[in-house]
Structure 1
């Protein structure tokens, strides 16, 4: 897997994913909060399968 998530995109995914998952754990927003696992995982792994299918990358190019 080549990294395709970086910069502000990565930070946003981790923050939003952690927030949604935390709210689901506490029961504030119910089962829909578990969808936060997806952005959390893609932010932590630096890889988004949807970005790969669409040919998108927010990582800076390494020389």
Structure 2
């Protein structure tokens, strides 16, 4: 499992995931806010299965 999520992409995913989960816990949005776990985990692990299927890689090439 090679990393295919770059630094900026990863940061944005973690932030979006935390916001969705926080809003769900605060009762602002419904249970669907727990879908924020998906971008949170893909940001933390820097691997996105959908990117693999589509051949996308936002990591810097070195």
TM, length-normalised to structure 2: 0.93
Is there any run of 5+ residues in structure 2 with no aligned partner, and where? none
**How many equivalent pairs are there?**
62
TM, length-normalised to structure 1: 0.92
Is there any run of 5+ residues in structure 1 with no aligned partner, and where? none
User: Where has structure 1 moved over 6 Å in runs of 4 or more?
Assistant: none
In the TM superposition, 1:1-63 aligns within 5 A as 1-62=1-62
For 2:19 and 2:58, how far apart are their aligned partners in 1?
22
Q: How large is the RMSD of aligned CA atoms in angstroms?
A: 0.8
